Structure 1
Amino acid sequence: MTAEHPALATGAFPENLLAGQRFAVLGLGANGRASAAALLAMGAEVVAWDDSLEEGEAQGRSEKAAQALPAHPHLRVAPLAEGELAGCGALIMSPGIPHHLPAPHKTALLARKLGVPLLSDAEMLYRAVRAAGSKARFVAVTGTNGKSTTTALAAHLLAEGGLPVAAGGNLGPAALALPLLPDKGVYVIEMSSYMLERLESFKADVAIMLNLTPDHLDRHGDMAGYEAAKFHVVDNMDRTGLVLAGENAPEAPWVARLAERLGQEGQPPRFLSAPTLHPPLPGEAPMLPGLHNAQNIWAAQQAAGFLGVKPQDQAKGVRGFTGLAHRLKLIKDFVGEGPHGPANVRFVDDSKGTNAEATAHALKAFPRVMWIAGGMAKAGGIEALLPLMGHVGHAFLIGRDAPLFAQTLEKAGVPHTQCGTLERAVPLATAQALAEGGGVVLLSPATASFDQFRSYVHRGERFGQIVGETTARQQGRNKPHQSTAKGGGR
């Protein structure tokens, strides 16, 4: 195989793999740029466009295009009119561009008229890997919450088992930016519902469906449409594969519907749904607290075991997993001065908790927290979290919808303070935790971030900066005691 396909030894796809083929790329964000660059590197001709290039004069458009994509002899940056789209092997649209609901993009309609397939970059990666002669296996991970952690953990366990691994997709990097793996290699691809709708020949060896709660309904119409999109993760699978459901049927009706769908196949894959799970012990998974992480661990270990990783390597991998940034990650373990001596405060960044469902998992992970929440609320706000308010010692509210959250918490009798900003919330939450003799300061906003931050990543990074500043001030006040505590505590 190596002699026939020398690219397999280098991790690079053959430069002529797609020679003579032409593809269209719509959307030149990170995903679109990576797709265009990868297709060009494989010898394809690419015509690419981004709607933002329509703004301004011709010279300005050309400058924007040059910034988006470096010049290449096989690249044309131009509006995707009929003449450009005709004859293309596929249209690769950035996941955020709709092809159906709430209203299809005009280019998607034109592609449909011309018979040009709308494909995701994950589909294109699968085709390229097979065209290059590699039998590398694919793990596809989807669900409403937990996808990124499970993707990263599964990749970590596979690497711990000595397998060549490449992970990406919705998590990043883009699927088409991943290298070519040899036959024993494994791709672990996080797949959003948008990506799954644009598959054709993709066949997972392991498909993981973690959970299903309302999300992206503007793109899918209703829960039935959302579920149908997610179920594409098992398309083309046969008895050689494994399907994992992160929940079980009595509590999650979608699991039974997925099993029923698989049962209609002539040679269905093996199907496992999660047993009753318990939060991992700190020594088993120090960076993966909470019941929801037990689900992620179970799915990742089942996938790794199916692909040949030994149980002892799985356990070692789980213990050594450092977690993903902004996803229930411990960022600082601090000892400050409490009312009766040293007080331990742990700061946890769950900025990725952008909806109530995600924040519910975070609250369940700890007996009691100083909770920092708020921003641009999703539909329903935090009403769904009221049964979990026993975990909240005090809430510190930030962002646009802090007053709305305050009303909800007031009715429930939950102590809270409207802080407005992280800069005010973090010191107040820290002081409260120290006053109580220690505890957890949890940022899990249950909201979008765009009222005050560029993204949830920016929000999480700023949280970390303020935590550093706040604890440094505390250490300055308590320097003599801190020195003694450090010497005795380590």
Structure 2
Amino acid sequence: MSAAAEPALFAGRRFAVVGLGRAGLAAATRLAAWGAEVKAWDDGEAARDAARAEGVAVVALERRNLEGVDALVLSPGIPHRLPKPHPVAAMAQEAGVPILSDVELLYRAVRATGSRARFAGITGTNGKSTTTALLAHILRRAGLAVEAGANLGPPALALKILGSDGVYALEMSSYMLERLATIRFDAAAMLNLSADHLDRHGDMAGYAAAKRHIFDRQDGTCTAVVGVDDAPSAAMADELASGPARLIRVSGLRAVPGGIHAAEGRVIDARGPSPIRVASLVGHPTLPGSHNAQNAAAATALARSLGLGPVAIADGISCFPGLPHRQQPVAEIAGVRFINDSKATNADAASRALGCYPRLFWIAGGRAKEGGIAPLAPYFPRIAQAFLIGEAAGDFAATLSAAGVAHTVSGTLERAVADAFAAARREAPAVVLLSPACASFDQFPNFEARGEAFARHAAALAAQAPSCGVAS
């Protein structure tokens, strides 16, 4: 659809937007461009100034100017219930104003144009970014019009309006899934569940319930894809087996009769009378490990449900370039490979990378999540030496000491990269893995900045060794 056809979509509607970061600012500007009256607020002065520069009406939102508002669009990181609702969210709920995600408004806008574009949603504790990007890549290679984003990449209200032949591939966080009202995902995937964001959801049951919202409003024309490699997800699949959506169970670890799984480095569609070998993962540079095998199986299930055949899916998987900060090779120096897995912000995510290497030099730490690194004990024998950074360094050192794992408290990432290289080059060929098992916020604004710093420090070491190169 042309931009000229969009402005009337929300004419006469009124929205409040709170949180003017990447997603919130995109929501405020797009809603205004569609003819809505928008009032916006952010608790940070710099964000308010940036929004004003974009022509957004910045207003201190109070109960009186929430009256008559059709919805409050609350940025995902801002709570509306636990651990404590933002004051504007509390006022909105008292006034009966719906609190919505920008994905909900994208869906309404697309349907307001008459487009029947299909929506594919992907969630899970880990792997959702890779699966979303892989699905979008497969669909584009097959010639479909695709827009990908939401929690990954461009925010929902920065995406184009697609025609009826288009597909939206949307990464959905638990925060976003709690703020949906009418959207129905034609194809939806829930990959895995492990403890995360419990402060926002109260407990594991609340977190699982938030993830399950991705299947709300599905009917017999829709497909529900569920990973069954962990007990909570397998239980969710059992709950969904009675429909109404068609259920496809997927696994990266074992055969799933009637589902799609990975076995011996191949993605197998076992839903028909004869299993179909869809694609090879043997030696795939951007999809290593059983967790990525599950991601590939899930993307295959979603693509199949959207009408693609095995040949098109195999083509897309074979040339998938991967995502930055997810087991991304960034340098090789004197036989030492540097792997950037900065996206691993919790122990479960780090376990997936640790499981890919029989011996490694591990950089970990940051702002710890609940449980620390104790769940990673089965992988400790693989660690030649750990190099610890950030707030969690002391606690992680205690855990590793008790397990007899060699470690050094490096403090900063720059120091850790140098320390790890000095140790690893004595055993080359070797791997230095940044997989922090922590949030980044103690030393970096986000995991992307942390990963970029890791690559930069590795590149600086490579520059000191002219015969060695930085991976492209």
Unaligned runs of 5+ in 1: 1-7, 54-62, 337-343
The aligned residue for residue 314 of structure 2 is 315
- Asked if 1 retains the 8 angstrom alpha-carbon contact of 2:21 and 2:47, the reply is no
The aligned residue for residue 13 of structure 2 is 21
The aligned residue for residue 117 of structure 1 is 98
Shift in alpha-carbon separation, 1:255–1:19, aligned structure 2, 3 A: same
AA at the equivalent of 1:39: L
The aligned residue for residue 175 of structure 2 is 194
AA at the equivalent of 2:238: A
Tell me the SS of whatever aligns to 2:465: helix
Moved more, 448-457 or 35-44: 448-457
Offset of residue 258 of structure 1: 4.3
Moved more, 280-289 or 368-377: 280-289
Offset of residue 285 of structure 1: 2.4
Q: Which structure has the greater CA radius of gyration?
A: 1
Tell me the SS of whatever aligns to 2:44: helix
Equivalent positions of 1:130-279 (< 5 A) are 130-248=111-229, 251-261=230-240, 263=242, 268-275=244-251, 276=254, 277-278=262-263
2:55 is the counterpart of 1:68: no
The aligned residue for residue 339 of structure 1 is none
AA at the equivalent of 1:471: A
AA at the equivalent of 1:270: R
Measure, in 2, the Cα distance between the counterparts of 1:472 and 1:114.
Answer: 60
- Asked if 2 retains the 8 angstrom alpha-carbon contact of 1:99 and 1:108, the reply is yes
2:349 is the counterpart of 1:355: no
Tell me the SS of whatever aligns to 1:166: strand
AA at the equivalent of 2:25: R
Measure, in 1, the Cα distance between the counterparts of 2:369 and 2:130.
Answer: 22
Tell me the SS of whatever aligns to 1:381: coil
Measure, in 2, the Cα distance between the counterparts of 1:113 and 1:378.
Answer: 33
Moved over 6 A (4+): none
The aligned residue for residue 360 of structure 2 is 369
Measure, in 1, the Cα distance between the counterparts of 2:323 and 2:15.
Answer: 34
Shift in alpha-carbon separation, 1:274–1:65, aligned structure 2, 3 A: closer
- Asked if 2 retains the 8 angstrom alpha-carbon contact of 1:13 and 1:179, the reply is no
- TM-score norm. by structure 1 comes to 0.87
2:88 is the counterpart of 1:107: yes
Equivalent positions of 1:285-304 (< 5 A) are 285-304=284-303
Shift in alpha-carbon separation, 1:203–1:474, aligned structure 2, 3 A: same
Measure, in 2, the Cα distance between the counterparts of 1:279 and 1:433.
Answer: 30
- Asked if 2 retains the 8 angstrom alpha-carbon contact of 1:284 and 1:315, the reply is no
AA at the equivalent of 2:12: G
AA at the equivalent of 1:27: G
Q: What are the Cα deviations for residues 406-436 of structure 1, in whole angstroms up to 9, with x where unaligned?
A: 2211221112222222222223322332221
- Corresponding residue pairs, total: 447
Offset of residue 136 of structure 1: 0.5
Offset of residue 186 of structure 1: 0.5
Offset of residue 279 of structure 1: 7.4
The aligned residue for residue 74 of structure 2 is 93
The aligned residue for residue 24 of structure 2 is 32
- The partner residue of 2:38 within 26, 39, 46 is 46
Offset of residue 160 of structure 1: 0.9
Q: What are the Cα deviations for residues 53-107 of structure 1, in whole angstroms up to 9, with x where unaligned?
A: 5xxxxxxxxx8634223464xx532122233211111111111111111122222
Moved more, 300-309 or 137-146: 300-309
Offset of residue 144 of structure 1: 0.7
Identity of aligned residues (%): 51
Unaligned runs of 5+ in 2: 255-261, 266-279
- Asked if 2 retains the 8 angstrom alpha-carbon contact of 1:285 and 1:321, the reply is no
Q: CA RMSD in A?
A: 2.1
Shift in alpha-carbon separation, 1:288–1:26, aligned structure 2, 3 A: same
Tell me the SS of whatever aligns to 1:225: helix
AA at the equivalent of 2:14: R
Offset of residue 322 of structure 1: 1.5
AA at the equivalent of 1:135: R
- Asked if 1 retains the 8 angstrom alpha-carbon contact of 2:20 and 2:48, the reply is no
Tell me the SS of whatever aligns to 2:293: helix
